[in-house]
Every structure is written in C-alpha cells, then in structure tokens.
Chains A and B, each alone.
With several copies, the nearest count.
Chain A
Amino acid sequence: MERHGIKPDEYERILELMGREPNLLELGLFSVMWSEHCSYKSSRVHLKTLPTTGPRVVQGPGENAGAVDIGNGLCAVFKIESHNHPSFIEPYQGAATGVGGIIRDIFTMGARPIALLNALRFGSLDAPLARRIFEGVVAGVGGYGNSIGIPTVGGEIVFDEMYSGNPLVNVLCLGISRIDGIVKGAAKGAGNPVFYVGAKTGRDGIHGATMASAEFDETSAEKRPAVQVGDPFMEKLLMEACLEVMKTGAVLGIQDMGAAGLSCATSEMGSRGGLGMTIDVMHVPQRETGMTPYEIMLSESQERMLLVVEKGREHEVTAVFEKWDLHAVQVGEVVEGSRLKILERGVLVADVPNRALTDEAPVYRRPMQEPSWQKAVQRLSLGDLGAPPSAQSAFDRLLTVPTIASKRWAYGQYDHSVGTNTIAQPGMSAAVVRVKGTATGLAVSVDGNGRFCYLDPYRGAMLAVAEAARNVACAGGEPIGGTNNLNFGNPERPEIMWQLGEAVRGIGEACRALGIPITGGNVSLYNETEGRAIFPTPVLGVVGLLEDATKTTTRAFKRAGAAVVLLGDNLGELGGSEYLATLHGKVAGQPPTLDLSREAAIQKLIVKLIRDGLVESAHDCSEGGLALTLAECTFDSGGIGVAVDLPEVRLKPDTTLGDTAADVASGFSRTFDVNATLFGESASRIVVSASGAQLEAVVAAAKAAGVMATVIGQTGGDRIQLSVGGTRVVDTAIADAEHVWATCIETQMGRR
C-alpha cells in the first residue's frame, strides 16, 4: 500500500467501492488513477470555481483538450501540460516526451496541431546543474517538435534559485479543427471493438503518475527506470494516421495513453461513455517478454492510442493505419454496464467499476493556512534596502539578467517556420499564427510570475492572467480562451494549499473580469526538494483571435520620428520587481496592484488601435519596467533609438514600514523615485509608437476608452535616452545594449 502511495483511509474507500479486497493489479489501478496527477484530488474543489463557459466555448475542461469557436466553422483546440519531474531526472527525454504528450492531447480531439509554446523555469545559470538541465530541456523541446514538424513559436523562460531542484517544463499546444470534426474520448455502443495502435508497450514509466505525485528525496535515483524515451517519428505517423482515420467517421471515441497508460484510457473512456470495457492484455503489443498484466496496464510507454471503432467498419480503420505502417490491433470491446474487466488469455484478472477509478476518486478539501511569513515578506522598507544604484548602472545590470535577456539561444534551436503559418517571429511579441483558408489569425502567450505569486498568490495569479491576455492583445488578438498550469509544492502542507487556493481564486477572478473562459489545464504538485518548495507558479496560456491576421504588430519601433506613447499609469511599484531582486537582492513587497476594469479597458483599446492600423509598434511593460520595455522596442528595429522624458513618480514614505524622515529627506529617496519610475513593474501598461494624424487618433481613442495616454518622447537616433523629470538618467548606444541583451544567455551557456 505504502509502495502504491495509497493512504489507509483511501484503502478503506477502495474496499467499500469494490465490496471486497482488491487484488494486486486492482490495487495498482487505484494507485495510479487516484494519484494526484490523474485524479486532481487536492485541486479539484478549487478548479471547480474557475469560469469555464462562454459563447465561444466548444469544449470546456474534462476532455483531452479545450476548444473555442474562432469563426468559419473552425475551433482552436489547445491545452497546456507539464513535465516537470521527468525533466529534472532526464532533461532531454523528459522535455521531449512532455511535448509528445501534449501534441497527442490535441490531435486526439481531431485537431491538427499548428503551434507549440513552452514556459520554462530553471535555477540560476551560475550553477552547472542548472545549465545542464536548461541545455537538455531546450534540446528536448526542439528535438521532438522539430522532427514532428510543429513549430515552436513562443514561450517564456525564467531563471531563479527557487527552481534549482525543481525545474518547470510547461508546454502548450494549439491545434485547429472543424467544430463538427471534434472527436471525444468516450466509449460508445456496446459491442464495438476497442483498438490499440502505436508503439509497443514496455516496462518504461511504470508508476510515472505516482512519481509525479511525490516529492524528490535521495531515493528518487532508484525510481529512475521510469524514464521514457520519446519517438517523434512514431508520433508523426500516429498523428497523420489518426487525423486521417477520424475523417472516415468510423472512429467513435479515441484517447491517448499518457499518464497511467492503458488503465487511464480504458477506465476514462468507459466512464465518460457510461459503458463498460473489457480488454485482454494478451492482445496488447509488447516490447519485452514476460510482462505481467500489472506491468502492461500501468506502463507509460509513449506514443500509444486507444480507439473505439464502429463495428463492421474495422477494415476502414486498419487500412489507414497500414498505409502509415502502423498495425492497429483489437484488444477488447465496449460492453454494457460500467465495469472495466481485464483478462489475461481469457482469464479475468481484474474487475473494477470504472467510475470508482475516475469520478469516484477521492476529493480532498485539504487544510489551508496562510504561511506565517506571508505578511513579513510583503513589507518593503526603502530604509532596509541600502544605497540605491544609479539608474544607469541599474539599467546596465538588468540587461544582463537572463530572465530579461533575449531567449534567442533557446528559440534559435526551435523550428518556428515549419507549417508556413508563423507571422510573428519568436522574440517579437506574443506568438501569432495565421489560420490557412481564412483571413484570421491566432495570438498566443504563456506567462506567469512566481515571485509575484510568492508575495501574494491571489494577486500574482491575477497578474499572470492579465499579462498573458495583454501580450495577446498587444499583437492584435482579442483574448477568447485560456488554459492554465498550476505548479506548486506539496499540497499536504496547509501553506502550499493556501497558495494554490488563493492562486486559483485569482485566476477565476481575473478571467471573469476579462471575459476569458478557462477550457482546460494541468496541475503539477509536489514540486519541492527536501522540503523546499518552488515559488507558487501558475502559468497562464491565453489564445486571442485576430479577425484579420494582417492587422498585427510587434514590439520593435518601425521608423524614426514617431511619437512614443505610454498607455496606462506609471505607479512606480517596486514590490517583487526584477530591480529589487537583482540590485538589492530582495524578494519583498506587495506585487503591483491590478484594477481589472482598467486592465480590460486597456486591452480593448490596444486591440482596436491595432485593428485600425493606428499604432506602429506595441509592447507590454513587464520585467524590468518601462526602461527595459523601451530598450526592447529599439532592439531588432534596425537600430531605431528613443528619447523619452518620464514624469517622476514620488514614492510615499511609509513610516509604519520603518522609512524615516531622514530617508525621505536624503538623496537616497530621490534616487529611489527615479528608479521606481524606470524599473517599477506596474500592471496595465503598454508602450506604443504612432506618427502624424495617427497619433492624434490614438490619444483620442485612449481618452474615449478612459485609458491614460501620455506622449513620453520620440523615436530616432541610435541611442536609448531616458530622462526622469527633465534629467537624463540613462544614455546608452543601442548597439551596445542590444549586444549585451542578445548574447547574455549564450555567454552564460558558454561556461562549463
């Protein structure tokens, strides 16, 4: 029992559901299906609170992926999935099989995958282990996506000590399907045959789901045989064959075998369809000899699918698979009732009510407790920070922070042009792909800020939703759907559970306000090593619709002499900023405030401005604040510089936090004001550029939308010149700044 990760009270429940003692195989089924990874037993009560409906929702949570209507009879099918634990153990294969898994979720729905994004977290690149994991993960993401021919078009990468023992690898896949072409993972029609197709089943990955549901400790090394090797060629064959076979109409239900393998596919398809399923493991193609039913049912070998086929049309299905050199075999059939029966050469070896494994899995309302340190880390006293650096040296230093630097080193290894749909090159904005055969396009972004969530998980999660949606809007996309990946520590600790609960509450709140239904997601818990958890890290994926794919824009300035306009308010909020972390070594304060109605207004505004062709560039302000945002607008622009003068933000001294009148009076405080103006990370801000008559239209539209618009300067020259309150505080040649920013990660990775 212990070995199966089943708790005594859960065992009692199994006895009740079974009406008898389970045998070893049955216990194994419960073990994987009731694991955190498969059952969402700790998170389910919280996930239920998320908004999942909307006029565009074609498929909400519960299927292999979600889907939203994008017009023309089509829908966007997308989901995000994590492969954190496997990527720590074997970075290349862990990441590669993670990509393989999420691609299967998409084509299983009948959708052709057209884009991948990845959200990654690693420890500091100063550590050789972090560099090795980063190198392996990026190679693995590319290795799988490149071969199968799905472009990796965007993502985000954050480096922080907090992830050194628990890197995060979250991958989002987006596909397109006809709305009437969606196929579900449910068994239909008693008597219909159940087919298995794809790679043979081996002993790899047995209990992978259970492993992803436990903390790492010294004995993790012994669990290593759980590593799986990806076979992108097999997946390519499966993808093409499955998409082709689904067009015949002979496939009634289909599901991939991911976590918990055959156990999951058989019990979930049965319970979704309200029917039973009987299979004989003898028919399951096996890669190794002497495999037991236990091993066959629990194996997590990659690249395998289970299909329910309409009786009498088997040959149509097998013919397509044969064309692709795949051999589909019948392993069982759909039966009346609701039991999953497993036979071995005709002998019954397991007999379980399938809903006991799925819908009736335990649900925990685990105790939640705000961490004792929570209030303390939110205190931010300027007096405690020491002498602030000059704005120029802070600017120079921030350009060398890998989290801020260009991610070219990574996406240069990803094929992002295959498929001929990629409109925005990676690194330029949210990813934008066109939808062939229509005028439309889709913008996608993945975002999350673990530091903000550590300081305040509720607000941090709202900020993640806002940022992902704002990024999509900055590319001209109207946000229409979202997915989320919840990466947290051990849910059995009340503080972690509190973080999770607060984060989900924040996601729900922000999604409701911004009109973004959540159509699916993934939960990855136990991301901790020896009792130290990662920052709570919800990652949000948002999909936006461009009615006209040609009406999009990127962050880079397009011409000299354009006006530079800041949309939104510059509040100078330093809490949780990259500036504080890098230059003062502090993760503290309140994360930026977020007024959701203002956020909604600015997003609507920017989408309209781009649709009307009024702005030449648009860039969301995030890590590094306005200063880094402005610098990034000059990068990849062919050297178009910028000169701005920003109204100075006055930080209010907070004596309750220990700021003294002396601090306020001293020059200290004045430098902090300047730095807060430049590097504060307030939400709901966008920098745009516009020229001539368009500028007036931009200002007028902003006014009508109730969004503050300030002309802060002009493009031109070959320098980045930033003034605050009339005083020039940053003055750098673009060429120098861009070189440092573009090669930072390369340089770090050159070290051994």
Chain B
Amino acid sequence: MKARVYVTLKPSVFDPQGRVVADALVTLGYQEVQDVRQGKFFEVELAATDAVTAKARVTEMADKLLANPVIESYRVEVLP
C-alpha cells in the first residue's frame, strides 16, 4: 500500500527557496509568475493493511517526524 505526505511551509513562514525560484522564473521571461512556494512530499510504501489504518499510521509519522509543526503543515493521502 502506498501513501503520500505533502509538507508545506505555513503561509506565515518566509520561503527562501520559493522566492529564489520565482525570481529566476521571472528573469527567464515568465513574467506571469506571481509567487512560488516550495514543498516536499514523501511516498511511503507500507506493508499492506487497510486504508484506514494506513492513514492513521502515516498521519502519526507525519506528526512525529515528517513535518515540523512550528513551521510546516501537512496533508496525508492514501493511494488506492
């Protein structure tokens, strides 16, 4: 079974990487770019359980390790 955890910086936290990417895109001629935020995601391969348990377990992993609640928020998605 597969799950994905998407982690993003909270909106209030400045995202230096996103800013650099946005600047670079504009200088490359993509004037329409207004803002870029960068996030990360984890594709977790799990020994098969049911989707509900998987979601609960992976949410726990995100809480404990994959995201830092001080600066980041996350979203868990279990793939069918």
Contacts and interface: CB of A to CB of B under 8 A. Distances in A.
**Do A and B interact with each other, yes or no?**
yes
Contacts of A90: 68, 70-71
A228 B70 contact: no
A288 B37 CA distance: 14
Interface string B12-51: 1111100110011001100000000000000000000000
Nearest to B25: A752
B66 interface: no
Contact of A93 (B23, B28, B71): B71
A752 B12 contact: no
B16 A227 contact: no
Interface in A177-220: 199, 202-204
Contacts of A225: 10, 12-13
Contacts of B19: 231
B62 interface: no
A204 B12 contact: yes
B15 A229 contact: yes
Contacts of A234: 16
A-side interface mostly: loop
Nearest to A752: B27
Contacts of A93: 71
A234 B17 CA distance: 11
Contact of B70 (A202, A224, A230, A301): A224
A233 B23 CA distance: 13
A227 B20 contact: no
A752 B27 CA distance: 7
Contact of A231 (B14, B27, B28, B71): B14
Interface in A701-752: 752
B68 to A, nearest CB: 7
Contacts of B70: 89-90, 224, 227
The B interface, classified by DSSP as helix, strand, loop or mixed, is loop
Contact of A233 (B10, B12, B16, B68): B16
A204 B13 CA distance: 7
B68 A202 contact: no
B9 interface: yes
A93 B24 CA distance: 21
A462 B65 CA distance: 43
B24 A752 contact: yes
Contacts of B20: 233
B12 A229 contact: no
A229 B24 contact: no
Nearest to B23: A325
Contacts of A231: 14, 16, 19
Contact of B16 (A89, A203, A229, A325): A229
A287 B11 CA distance: 11
Contact of B14 (A202, A224, A325): A202
Interface string B43-74: 00000000000000000000000001011000
Given A89-B70, A90-B68, A227 B13 contact: yes
A187 B1 CA distance: 45
A301 B24 contact: no
Contact of A202 (B12, B23, B24): B12
Contacts of B28: 752
B8 to A, nearest CB: 13
A325 B26 CA distance: 13
Given A90-B70, A93-B71, A752-B24, A204 B16 contact: no
Contacts of B71: 90, 93, 227, 229
A228 B12 CA distance: 10
Nearest to B29: A752
A191 to B, nearest CB: 34
Contacts of B10: 225
8 contacts: A203-B12, A204-B12, A229-B13, A229-B15, A231-B14, A231-B19, A233-B16, A287-B14
Interface of B: 9-10, 12-16, 19-20, 23-24, 27-28, 68, 70-71
